[in-house]
Chains A and B, each alone.
Chain A
Amino acid sequence: MTVAESPPLVPPGRNLPEELARRFEAIVFDWDGTAVPDRKADASQVRDLVEQLSRAGLHLAVVTGTHVGNVDGQLRARPSGPGLLYLCLNRGSEVYRVGLDGAELVFRRQATSEEDAALDAAAAATVAALAARGVRAAVVSQRLNRRKVDLIPEPEWADPPKARIAELLAAVEGRLRQAGLDGLRDAVAIAEGAATAAGLPAAKVTSDAKHVEIGLTDKADSARWVLAELWGLGVAASQVLVAGDEFGPLGGIPGSDSYLLLGDATAFSVGREPTGTPPGVVAFPGGPDAFAGVLEDQLARRRARELPQLVDDERWSVTVRGFDPERERAHAALLTLADGVIGTSGSPVGEHAAARPRVLAAGVYAGAGAESELPLCPVWTRLDGELPEPLWFERRLDLRTGTLRQRLGRNGEVDALLFSSLARPGTPVLRARGLPELLESDRPLSAVESGIEDGVVDGVEWARAQAGDGGVVAAARDRLEGGVLDRFAAYVVDATAAPDPEDAVDLVAGARLAGFDGLLGEHRARWAQRWHTADVVIEGDDELQRLVRFALFHLMSSAADTGEAAVGARGLSGPAYRGHVFWDSDVFVLPFLAATHPPAARAMLEYRLRRLDAARANAARLGRAGARFPWESAASGADVTPSHAFDQAGRDVPIRTGELEEHIVADVAWAASFYVDWTDDSAFAHGPGRELLVETARYWASRIRRDAVGRAHIDRVIGPDEYHEPVDDNAFTNVMARWNLRHAAAVAAGAVAEDERRLWQELADRLVDGFDPATQIYEQFAGFHRLEPLVVADLARRPFAADLLLGHERVARAQVVKQADVLMLHHLVPEEVAAGSLEANLSHYEPRTAHGSSLSPAIHAALFARARRLGAALDALKLSCRLDVDDLTGTTSGGVHLATMGGVWQALVFGFAGVRATPRRLTVDPVLPDAWDALEVRLSFRGFPVRIRIEHDAIAVDADPKVPVSVLGTRHRVFSKGA
């Protein structure tokens, strides 16, 4: 740890209004009159500050009416970043990004020739109308997308400085009033009329007192662009500071900087504001000097290593206040920070006996067989100080930026920000301010398990946990200075060989070089990118909105997007289920990633592909062909399902899922096909994806038994309804196998022998599925209808664990279903079941379903939505969303239920929005509950972002024209404008 004395910094906030005396993440400012006195002034001071602030990670945007030559020529800043500098020019029509190599155009609104002609006509008509009233005016320039009419083309007012604005206004108003006009207001009205007459009813007409300008854009367009850009960098409007000098009205028309007042940004004026500073704008008169003072203050705050302000938006955050020893471990799991490589519990940074801080790494397993489990890695979040009691404590997880704020003590005893970089997975960062005795730590890494090696390289501590043939090595370094602790850590995970500590030490050095603000900036920008194609917006229910984003947050953070991604049942949020990979991963989690961030879905498929040989060996061991994937998978791909367990009723029960729950084979194939449908990844489809489909089809072909009359059967399996085992001809298994055979036959033309393809097709056609055309009901398995006709909906309030309440034997004898089984077919492969059979099967099976699996409610939410039973759909959705936050299983401490979260997304996107990807297009068939005002889903389809907004009387599809989207039904208005 580096400990140094506090640097001699100027105390931030000196002489500033209270509203400005805090750290902002971006500054948007007017140029002439705000940053510089006039266009000829020396801008070296503001240049220097801009470049320093950029280095410190602050984003800056100049918003002005002039062109790039003027502003860039005067500012001449060449910022190195990581903070970005934008020049938003020509009154909203252009944006340049400025870097070390100069200004680069990133956006331009280009008028059509018709629009240009209309602007010319409007300007000429304005001059003519004024002349008709006796006012001499002149079109002085043709700027990009606008025309400027000089209202006072007199030599003495040729180029008035900003300081003479009041005199100028009086002169112009006097001139207009002499002609019988009501000042500037009338001049603007004349120009607006002329623009409308010229065919530009939406023209933006503004005035700076000397001119009236008619344009296609204005500064509000710049402000909107900047705020959207900043949002895309993970900066919320409430973290933006807006500076100008003309917010108040001028001659009865809005001040030119009033157009910058958007969103929750804090605005201040350094101008004289002759008509007063408008409400909501902080008055800080003093011109460019005052503005420079604010920049200096922001720089001082960065140098003093202030933490960013919290964004107070409950739709984007989860807050745990207080410290509840009973629920602490569940809270810590909920607040997990993960980056796809490591996951860190949101435990308090201080010590507490009830806390269990932990770090888990993906894809490495200690132990063997059923005992294989995720090893507990060295922990980077611990400070040595003990939490004082009683204590005021608050933890807030910002879902939008993947940051966790921990505040301990009302007087700021400890204020810490933690994140695990999504831009550099495996690189977690902590900054904490507060009492030195609480911040000091002997070591930046703490081990929660014995047997961890450790050492020091170049002053950086490292610790290594062995796991199987590989392991995890962590390195970290502290810097405690001026009451602020910065901790940079790095984890290197290798499942095949013990990772080298020097690799982690090098990563720590890289992180330190980037600095806290640099790392934070790239991290939150990466999160913002992920949300751009993944967010689901529910308008009309803020609490549900928050819970849905909470689910998406965990889904996004649980899978790596390079290499292979082993996504266990609880992701990286806890050790329960030992990190084993189930169908949860392929069927519940992967669809979300395939439709929002395909590289992560591809990495999950890579996990299966790299274990294809193990699946082949498993099939061969059973005397079968092809590949049989295991019910539970860990490092090698061999089955790691335990053979027995004591259940929660204390009964010793044999576990036969490893032996019999074979639908996992088709589930893996289905996941590969789903990925292809959404991404059109032809390299995968014609390479490893096809191999997966072929090998799984070969397994089914060798697994199927034909009876004397030629019908095909699959005997002795367990379906998703694990209350019944073993069963013959489970509808889910058989239909998924049928889908697998047919799909493989379709994609393998030319790749496998024709005889084999024909065999698959024949077997698929002969597989029994239990469907009764008379009732439209699929029998869940052979003999299900003959079981005791127990309707659990009449028996107990659901959900309930029927196996615990009634006993295994009783549920096995009865028509009690654990979770969607037949109905899972209507959800996953609706094209493989009889058209129109959803309602009959939903009405039959749902009342018989105990929902004793956490996977069940979300899938039923989707099914109810498809069946237009929106009340039931909403109830099931809300239950799914609350599963972990209310710890309904009593096991959230062991990690969040990732598959349920994936089910929540599927309920919203497949169920309510009715989105499906086919090999040809995206189809949308939405239903919207009355309780919601709108549902908006963001997706990535075939490499293009797609936004679908569903309101009660309209649907908007915002996508690239190359994206084929069909909206079913005709009562909705549909438009597509290109994302």
Chain B
Amino acid sequence: MKKVIAALDNSAAAATVLATAQKLGSVFGAEIDAVHVGEDGDRIAAAAAAAAGLELRRLEGDVVPALAGAAAKEDAVVLVVGARGLPSGRELGSTALEVITSQPKPVVVVPPDAERPGRLERVLVPLEGTPLTSLAPKTLIQLADDAQIEVVVLHVHDEATLPLFTDQPQHEADAWREEFVARYCPWGIGSVRVDVRVGRREEEILRAAAEAKADLIAIGWAQKLAAGRAPIVHELLERGRTPVLLIPLRLPSQRQSRARRSSWISLQSSPA
């Protein structure tokens, strides 16, 4: 059976992490594997697991390799961790940081102050408008259809991506949205709600998540958190109150990228 790995530390955040894992478990049809690593005691973690009717599984060794080992199992579909270090200064904990940047599988990072409603009802999927990033949440969203989860696709325009023309907004926007969904939500589901905004992406995603009362933000990323990289992920994790599902992207090499472009010839040129 598929498993959602819930990494519980010995803090108050354990209950929030577990609640999020349980919500995901029901979506994925997966059982919860509540695990704990570390020498800092497991009383709170065990209590949280027990409260959920689960047995806490203790892993040996260093935290990051141990969690990596658990998540690497074939039946593990997602790893759920707490954003430790919070709320003081709201900096991402070093453990969470190492885990999310090294995991080949999706990781959900749960802020300690995340709200804990009963079930996962609404997922916010920010899309940049590229095929690569749009495919990242595909699996989750395909499952979401069966689980009757509302998917809100968010696209935030900045000056560079704004459409050049708005002929008749009463028609133009619908046509634009329809094509956006066809291009970037090719997940085989009937419909999604598209939320389009203009502004700074980080701000607008947080605002949209709050307004939509999203239970989860699902976003693809390249797992690079060095200075200046992934500013959106940084801010979502540091400022948000919504669990964030991070889906690693395998970026194509430049060579692959070129090959793809050249195989799709535009109307501008028609080489033999």
Contact = CB atoms under 8 A, between A and B. Distances in A.
B175 A891 contact: yes
B209 to A, nearest CB: 14
A647 B169 contact: yes
A801 B173 CA distance: 12
Nearest to A546: B267
Given A326-B131, A642-B170, A577 B175 contact: yes
A74 to B, nearest CB: 45
B222 interface: no
A322 B264 contact: yes
Interface string A615-656: 000000000000000000000000001101111111001010
A388 to B, nearest CB: 15
Interface residues of B, number: 36
Contacts of B166: 647-648, 801, 803-804, 852-853
How many of chain A's residues touch chain B, expressed as a range?
A: 35 or more
Interface in B55-102: none
A324 B176 contact: no
Contacts of B264: 321-324, 327
Contacts of A327: 264, 266
Contact of B164 (A334, A354, A645, A888): A888
A334 B267 contact: yes
B163 interface: yes
Contacts of A803: 166, 169
Given A353-B188, A889-B176, A891-B179, A648 B169 contact: yes
B175 A804 contact: no
A247 to B, nearest CB: 30
A809 to B, nearest CB: 13
B173 A646 contact: yes
B179 A799 contact: no
Interface stretch (A75-83, A312-320, A338-346): A312-320
In terms of DSSP, what is the predominant structure of the interface of chain B? mixed
Contacts of B178: 893-894
Contact of A890 (B176, B197, B198, B266): B176
A854 interface: yes
B53 to A, nearest CB: 42
Interface in B231-265: 263-265
A859 B236 CA distance: 46
B196 interface: yes
Nearest to A320: B267
Given A655-B170, A890-B179, A805 B198 contact: yes
A410 B166 CA distance: 41
A326 B183 contact: yes
A893 B188 contact: no
A855 interface: yes
A800 interface: yes
A569 interface: yes
Q: Chain A CB within 10 Å — which of B157, B179, B270 has the most? A: B179
Interface in A572-623: 576-578, 580, 582
Contacts of B139: none
A889 B173 contact: no
B142 to A, nearest CB: 13
A327 B180 CA distance: 11
Given A324-B264, A889-B164, A649 B270 contact: no
B198 A888 contact: no
A329 interface: yes
A577 B165 CA distance: 14
A790 to B, nearest CB: 16
B175 to A, nearest CB: 4
A805 B159 contact: yes
Contacts of B188: 353
Contact of B198 (A329, A649, A851, A852): A649
B195 interface: yes
Contacts of A370: 170
Contacts of A578: 171
A889 B162 contact: no
Interface in A827-866: 851-855
Interface string A519-548: 000000000000000000000000100000
A543 B269 CA distance: 9
Given A650-B196, A854-B167, A319 B179 contact: no
A645 B182 contact: no
B265 A890 contact: no
A796 interface: yes
Contacts of B263: 322
A644 B167 CA distance: 14
Given A321-B265, A648-B176, A649-B197, A804 B163 contact: yes
A649 B196 contact: yes
A885 B268 contact: yes
B197 A576 contact: no
A323 B264 CA distance: 6
Nearest to A649: B198
Contacts of A893: 175, 178-179, 182
Contacts of B265: 319-322
A800 B162 contact: yes
A39 interface: no
A479 B198 CA distance: 54
A889 B197 CA distance: 17
A356 B182 contact: yes
A217 B171 CA distance: 61
A886 B266 CA distance: 8
A318 B267 contact: yes
Given A891-B175, A891-B176, A805 B186 contact: no
Contacts of B173: 645-648
Given A326-B131, A356-B182, A576 B267 contact: no
Contacts of B176: 648, 889-891
Contacts of B266: 327, 885-886
A134 interface: no
A655 B166 CA distance: 13
Interface in A788-840: 796, 799-801, 803-805
A325 interface: yes
Contacts of A381: none
Contacts of A801: 162-166
A852 B164 contact: yes
Contact of A649 (B157, B167, B175, B180): B157
Contact of A796 (B159, B174, B182): B159
A727 to B, nearest CB: 18
B107 to A, nearest CB: 28
Q: Chain A CB within 10 Å — which of B163, B173, B174, B183 has the most? A: B163
A657 interface: yes
A576 B166 CA distance: 13
A323 B263 CA distance: 8
Contacts of B168: 569, 577, 582, 657
Contacts of A796: 159
A305 B270 CA distance: 28
Given A327-B264, A329-B179, A891-B179, A799 B195 contact: no
A578 B163 CA distance: 20
Nearest to B208: A650
A724 to B, nearest CB: 14
Given A356-B182, A889-B163, A580 B171 contact: yes
A802 to B, nearest CB: 9
22 contacts: A321-B264, A321-B270, A543-B268, A569-B168, A576-B175, A645-B171, A648-B166, A648-B172, A649-B197, A650-B195, A801-B166, A804-B157, A804-B198, A855-B167, A885-B267, A885-B268, A888-B164, A889-B165, A890-B180, A891-B163, A891-B176, A893-B179
Interface of B: 131, 157, 159, 162-176, 178-180, 182-183, 186, 188, 195-198, 263-268, 270
Given A329-B179, A889-B163, 7 more contacts: A325-B183, A580-B171, A650-B197, A653-B169, A852-B164, A853-B165, A889-B165
Q: Which 10 A-B pairs have the closest CB atoms?
A: A894-B175, A576-B175, A645-B170, A324-B264, A321-B265, A891-B175, A647-B169, A650-B196, A649-B198, A801-B166
